[in-house]
Amino acid sequence: MSQETVAERKEQKVAKAQSDDTEETISEEPKHPIQKLMDNVWLLFALGLVIPILSYTVWGWIELMMVPPAQLP
């Protein structure tokens, strides 16, 4: 094997690797909106805090409105 052949093979491998990278980025399918949501850790964390806080607060307000007025002696 001559040095030119080895150099050509290296160049071909590099070119093939680069073309494989571009094919992968081109062939990537767009993510579904739910998948984007599930990939965002901080958004999930915020929703995990906000949803229970709001739901229990609203539930508490409803319970307070349902309490009958106290009878004064």
| Pairwise pLDDT comparison (44 vs 11), residue with the higher score | 44
Distance between first and last Cα of the chain: 108
> The pTM is what?
0.49
Question: What's the one-letter identity of residue 12?
Answer: Q
Torsion angle, alpha carbons of 11, 16, 21, 24, to 10: 180
Give Cα 48 distance to the centre of its chain. 14
Q: Where residue 2 falls among pLDDT bands split at 50, 70, 90?
A: low
> How large is the C-alpha radius of gyration of the chain?
31
Token pair belonging to 26: 């081109």
Range with the poorest average pLDDT among 5-9, 15-19, 37-41, 53-57:
15-19
